[in-house]
Structure 1
Amino acid sequence: MAATSFSALLVPPALFAGARGTFRTYGELRYVPDDQKSHWLIEGVEPHVAIRLKQLFPKIPKQSPGPFALPADLITAADLEWFVSRYPLRLSDADLHRLSIDKQGFDQRQSQMESILLPAFESADITGLRDGQVLRRYQAQAVEILRNRKSLLLGDEGGLGKTFVAAAFLCAEPRALPAAVVCDAHMQIQWFEKTTGFTHLRVHCIKKTKPYSLPPADVYVFRISQIMGWADIFATDFFKAVVYDEPQSLRTGTSTAKGAAARVLSDHTQYRLGLTATPIYNYGGEMWNVMRFIDESVLGDHADFMREWTDNNGRITNPKALGSYLREQHALLRRLKGDVGQELPRVSRIIEYVDYDEKAVRSVEDLARALAIKATTGSFTERGSAVRE
């Protein structure tokens, strides 16, 4: 093949150290900048190479004849560099440099995240915790990953202190304040009590569904039913971080008012944390929607994700594989009690004896029986009243 204006035909020189002469190439790879979504474009690929390419990148439609567009992110750069080591593609000096830099960025990020998760990890002291309060190693690891990655779905098993991780992170990272916490209605007071009991952070529970003059605070706790009225405030960049407690409440995406408001909030914050003990959902669209509020790039475009990860009914074909992928990208961190058992305090058994009042119990049973009869045989008004009681 005659020489071209492309540099060395070209893959990173280290991949072909010592090679001489002209290389055979199998197509062209170039970077396409775009204000909305930059991407890599692969053109003129030979048929057998296109088959291999689609196997490595399932997001490419099987029936597509090309050209093939891939997102310009770090993980794609790492995979592309491996691919061109096997099937050299023509690319310019500038594009080769970009590919190499992104691959190095991927390696550095992976190395940094893995070092945090090592058993020997030691965290720096976190100021702002109340006297006597400490953060366990596995909790400190989650804090550090979020500080470095800026987005995380924390899927630890219930009882491992996910709320304390969020509070400790807000103490450890001053650039994350003020922060918004979005939770179910019954959790608002619990967030206030746990955060103020564990840290010196100032916490304010939002009282209205419409904006009002907010008192000075570090953390503002919203009931999820309140956020739709605050979208304009979210768009001002007032909040620097958001914590979604049980983000499966947003599984329908931006099709609801609360989802649209959460989208604005996520778009205008620097740090995003989701807390849930059930991170993988049966329907792929729900998982994709949830992750878009936390890390909008990790699962790619909706069509690509559905093609790569779900069946014809929209169900995730392999939840374990998806969980492994998200953990590999450090977008998901999940530990079970058995994983960190040695760090948990020993269980203290406290036995309390409660007096049994047979008369009181019989009175409650009689009332329940009467209400049940009224709820099934009474008039419309009586049935409604009985059910509410």
Structure 2
Amino acid sequence: MKDFGTLEYVMDTYSKNWTWKLTGLRAVTMVARVIPQAWYGEGPDEAIVPDTMQNVQKIKWILDRYPLEIRSKSIWHRKIRHVTVPKKKWTRIEKLRKANPGEQFRGTLLNFQREGLDFLTKSYGNALLADEMGLGKTVQTLAYLATEKQTFPALIVAPLVTLNNWQREIQKFLKKRSRNGRIVGEEHPSSVLIRTGRCQDLGRYNFYIINYDLLYKRLNDLSKLNIRTIVCDEVQHLRSKSTKKYEAVKNLAALESVKYRIGLSGTPIYNRGSEIWPIVDILRPGLLGTFEEFCEYFCYVNEKGKAIVLENKRASLGEELRKHVMLRRKKSDVLKELKEKVRYKEFIDSDINYYYAELEKIWRRLEEEQKIAITPFDKFSSYKRAIQSERQAAGIAKVPHVIEFVKNIME
């Protein structure tokens, strides 16, 4: 790894106190920004820093970003031991086995999906499942809910275009469990799609399914349901901690009744890398420290004020995530187990009010044209135009939902 300068423990000629001498233009520039008490040495690429615990901590922060050749290693290591705060110990998720789903699960898991089930179990249901698209994150999650104790009622938060798919998968893969614990194989758990932001009693269901944009409007209603599990599909929607949907999920995840928090995403980490912190802080609060601590250790701030994960910290961040909270497999890792690609039609919602209003206009226009039609050809042409107009209206009514669907695929 390239060194950007040197770090040495020296006695200052003028004050006769022990100090830290840093050389290298980048390191000295950073010193000027974060250590006001420092002064320049014999040139603009040399800085002298008083030896205090606070300054040692700041020098370490600089070294994490711009490695320096440490010439006083024994003194540096002795000093740094006193300022390094021991981190909370998190349980490491050990080697995964092929777990078997509980009797409430209806279906067969592939071997890598059984390992995913074991991962969710060993992470106590507070995890980020980051498999590539098409590897069955939904089915692994449902298998976990069917296996772990007291996982219901569950709240599924997902993009609008995936809500119907969640309801289908629940009906396909889960059996109903009666109140006395008996499995009713012919039936499936109860679920409800929440499609309005209007406050109202939601009733009692095993699954509540809602899209991100409605969540904050129904926060009070959802807070009363004694939710046990929160599943955030396409959890990258929560990458900004300043949004209403993030605040809503954060509040729900902090409820005393919530025991399990699962995030699903094929693309959890974006270009800057720092977007992973808000996601992890919901699933496993404190794992990456506060946002300030996370940025101090893993990031630098660019000219636009955005926190960017350092190149030399990306590997250690990935390792930290995989050890404690994240499981990611690519299709190339499990290619031998995958079945032939299955294609299915995705039903898209539409703006019914717009469609019916346009349909009314089309019928009125058709009636007027039929009255003034002179020849059979005129009548036929009028019907043909009405049919084309109806198809166009149906397409336009679906546009907002299609855009949402395409955005979801692209992300």
Report TM bin, short chain: 0.5 to 0.7
Check the 8 A contact 2:98/2:118 in 1, yes or no: no
Do residues 162 (structure 1) and 151 (structure 2) align?
Answer: no
- Structure 1 residue corresponding to 2:100, chosen from 120, 124, 127: 124
Do residues 299 (structure 1) and 305 (structure 2) align?
Answer: no
CA shift at 1:245, angstroms?
Answer: 0.7
CA shift at 1:171, angstroms?
Answer: 0.8
CA distance, structure 2, for counterparts of residue 239 and residue 174 of structure 1 = 14
Check the 8 A contact 1:263/1:293 in 2, yes or no: yes
Check the 8 A contact 2:191/2:207 in 1, yes or no: yes
Do residues 140 (structure 1) and 114 (structure 2) align?
Answer: yes
Query: Of the two, which has the highest radius of gyration?
Result: 2
CA shift at 1:279, angstroms?
Answer: 1.5
- Residues 210-233 of structure 1, C-alpha deviations (whole Å, 9 max, x = no match): 442223321111111111123224
Partner of 1:264: 251
Partner of 2:333: 339
Partner of 2:146: 171
CA distance, structure 1, for counterparts of residue 138 and residue 196 of structure 2 = 23
Partner of 2:200: 212
CA distance, structure 1, for counterparts of residue 343 and residue 149 of structure 2 = 39
Partner of 2:310: 317
Check the 8 A contact 1:58/1:307 in 2, yes or no: no
Q: Give the secondary-structure state (helix, strand or coil) at the position aligned to 1:335.
A: coil
One-letter code aligned to 1:188: L
One-letter code aligned to 1:266: A
Q: How many residues align?
A: 269
One-letter code aligned to 1:213: D
CA distance, structure 2, for counterparts of residue 295 and residue 161 of structure 1 = 22
CA shift at 1:312, angstroms?
Answer: 2.3
- Structure 1 residue corresponding to 2:88, chosen from 73, 89, 94: 73
Of 156-165 and 317-326, deviating more is 317-326
Check the 8 A contact 2:57/2:83 in 1, yes or no: no
Do residues 152 (structure 1) and 139 (structure 2) align?
Answer: no
CA shift at 1:145, angstroms?
Answer: 2.2
Do residues 188 (structure 1) and 163 (structure 2) align?
Answer: yes
With over 3 angstroms needed to count, the CA separation of the structure-2 counterparts of 1:175 and 1:58, relative to structure 1, is farther
With over 3 angstroms needed to count, the CA separation of the structure-2 counterparts of 1:66 and 1:231, relative to structure 1, is farther
Residue correspondence of structure 1 range 246-285 to structure 2 within 5 A: 246-253=234-241, 255-268=242-255, 269-285=258-274
Q: Give the secondary-structure state (helix, strand or coil) at the position aligned to 1:152.
A: strand
CA distance, structure 1, for counterparts of residue 216 and residue 86 of structure 2 = 32
Partner of 2:372: none
With over 3 angstroms needed to count, the CA separation of the structure-2 counterparts of 1:181 and 1:54, relative to structure 1, is same
CA distance, structure 1, for counterparts of residue 98 and residue 239 of structure 2 = 36
CA distance, structure 1, for counterparts of residue 274 and residue 236 of structure 2 = 12
CA shift at 1:161, angstroms?
Answer: 0.5
CA shift at 1:336, angstroms?
Answer: 0.5
- Residues 12-60 of structure 1, C-alpha deviations (whole Å, 9 max, x = no match): xxxxxxxxxxxxxxxxxxxxxxxxxxxxxxxxx997xx679948x969x
- Residues 87-132 of structure 1, C-alpha deviations (whole Å, 9 max, x = no match): xxxxxxxxxxxxxxxxxxx5xx33xx3232xxxx2313421223xx
* Percent identity of paired positions between Structure 1 and Structure 2: 25
CA distance, structure 1, for counterparts of residue 276 and residue 299 of structure 2 = 11
CA distance, structure 1, for counterparts of residue 81 and residue 321 of structure 2 = 31
CA shift at 1:282, angstroms?
Answer: 1.9
Do residues 114 (structure 1) and 114 (structure 2) align?
Answer: no
CA shift at 1:207, angstroms?
Answer: 3.0
CA shift at 1:267, angstroms?
Answer: 0.8
With over 3 angstroms needed to count, the CA separation of the structure-2 counterparts of 1:339 and 1:65, relative to structure 1, is closer
Q: Give the secondary-structure state (helix, strand or coil) at the position aligned to 1:272.
A: strand
CA distance, structure 1, for counterparts of residue 259 and residue 342 of structure 2 = 40
- What is the RMSD computed on CA atoms of the aligned residues? 3.9
One-letter code aligned to 2:99: S
Q: Give the secondary-structure state (helix, strand or coil) at the position aligned to 2:196.
A: coil
One-letter code aligned to 2:116: A
Partner of 2:232: 244
CA distance, structure 1, for counterparts of residue 325 and residue 250 of structure 2 = 18
Check the 8 A contact 1:209/1:225 in 2, yes or no: no
Check the 8 A contact 2:229/2:261 in 1, yes or no: yes
Long gaps (5+) in structure 1:
1-44, 75-105, 351-362, 372-383
Check the 8 A contact 1:204/1:215 in 2, yes or no: no
CA shift at 1:142, angstroms?
Answer: 2.1
CA shift at 1:322, angstroms?
Answer: 5.0
- Residues 286-340 of structure 1, C-alpha deviations (whole Å, 9 max, x = no match): 2212222222212111111112222222222237415522344231110001111
CA distance, structure 1, for counterparts of residue 223 and residue 244 of structure 2 = 15
Of 298-307 and 322-331, deviating more is 322-331
One-letter code aligned to 1:73: K
CA distance, structure 2, for counterparts of residue 237 and residue 297 of structure 1 = 26
With over 3 angstroms needed to count, the CA separation of the structure-2 counterparts of 1:165 and 1:211, relative to structure 1, is farther
